[in-house]
Amino acid sequence: MDLAYLRAHPAHLPTFRTHQRIRETPVAGGDSCAAARLTLDDGHSVFAKSWPEGAGAPAPEGFFAAEAAGLRWLREAGVVAVPEVIVALPDLLALDWVEPGEPTPEAAERFGHELADLHRAGARTFGAPWPGFIGALPQDNTADDGPWSTWFAERRLLPYLRRSVDNGALTAADAALVEQVIGRIGEFGGDEPPARIHGDLWPGNVLWGADDRVWLVDPAAHGGHRETDLAQLALFGGAPHLDRVLAAYQDRWPLVDGARERVPVHQLHLLLVHTAIFGVGYRDAVTRAAQAALSGLARATVDR
């Protein structure tokens, strides 16, 4: 099986893997998937993700289709590096292989410019034409004209707050704190038309390539607010050379007033997803973000 054959017969990939007709090397895959580097007969490599055996249940319906649709949509913009989707099956996704490299200031600056251009490509509405996922959880992508603040509260914060309370990760007091942010979200400002965003852009989904480019992987792509991607880049230790990324972004497409105070608001989405999936271990991160958001709003009110 070479790349041309694989493109022409994508449905044959599982059979070739089952019969060990392809050299397979396990690699880190992110999310809850099993991942491998597949080396084809022509020497070309692809990155394959599949639902792990023994998971107890099959992949959620539409899980890999959503990722494939998001990758293609981001790639359509033609401004940022996104791996090509080679195979998209109900239980398997295969992408062109990206050779990993080291983070450099030059790649960071280029990425800042490219991310701004990606966001400027825009979206018709908030949400997306395909059912969404964030990790293995469903994410409501129903088309919505906004405004951003209302859409974000209803579709990106409340569903994961409810899940986090239901699974015991957040207490009633924690939920009340987050609900204060949700209740005042219209006061934070910054409403903009929908941007074309990655949607799950924590540093682990930023792949620094050997070609000295930054590649976007594992998206939860949709029409959203551009500040969400930027805020997520600062989570969990922050992306390498984040100051260079943000400065280059700001140079290409300056953010509107109050962006710094809105960072914890945007981060709440992904942090609530983490309490919904992983439980109480991310509780403190959620409450710190909510408190920071409210403190920033209070300072902004005083300044005005």
How far, in Å, CA of 200 to CA of 204, rounded?
9
Buried b vs exposed e over 172-211: b needs ≥16 C-beta within 10 Å? eebbebbeebbeebeebebeebbbbbbbbbbbbbbbbbee
- The whole-model pTM stands at 0.94
Q: Identify the pLDDT of residue 304.
A: 57
Q: Identify the pLDDT of residue 272.
A: 98
Residue 48, Cα to own-chain centre: how many angstroms? 18
Please, where in the chain does CATH 3.30.200.20 lie? 3-96
Q: Identify the pLDDT of residue 24.
A: 85
How far, in Å, CA of 97 to CA of 174, rounded?
42
Dig out the tokens for 6 from the structure.
Answer: 């694989």
Please, where in the chain does CATH 1.20.1270.240 lie? 121-204+223-236+257-303
Q: Identify the pLDDT of residue 54.
A: 65
Phi-psi region of 65 (alpha: psi -120 to 50; beta: other; left: phi over 0): alpha
Give the residue from 75, 83, 87, 21 showing the smallest Cα distance to 50: 87
pLDDT tens track, the chain, 304 positions: 889 999 999 999 988 888 777 888 888 865 678 899 999 989 999 999 998 876 677 889 999 999 999 999 999 999 999 999 999 999 899 999 999 999 999 999 999 999 999 999 999 999 999 999 999 999 999 999 999 999 999 999 999 999 999 999 999 999 999 999 999 999 999 999 999 999 999 999 999 999 999 999 999 999 999 999 999 999 999 999 999 999 999 999 999 999 999 999 999 999 999 999 999 999 999 999 999 999 999 887 666 5
How far, in Å, CA of 72 to CA of 66, rounded?
10
Strand partners, 94: 48, 87
What does the H/E/C string look like for 8-52? Answer: HCHHHHHHHHHCCCCEEEECCCCCCCEEEEEECCCCCEEEEEECC
Which fold, 121-204+223-236+257-303? Substrate Binding Domain Of Dnak; Chain:A; Domain 2 (1.20.1270)
A 10 A CB-CB count for 71 gives 23
CATH superfamily of 3-96: Phosphorylase Kinase; domain 1 (3.30.200.20)
Give the residue from 152, 180, 192, 197 showing the smallest Cα distance to 293: 180
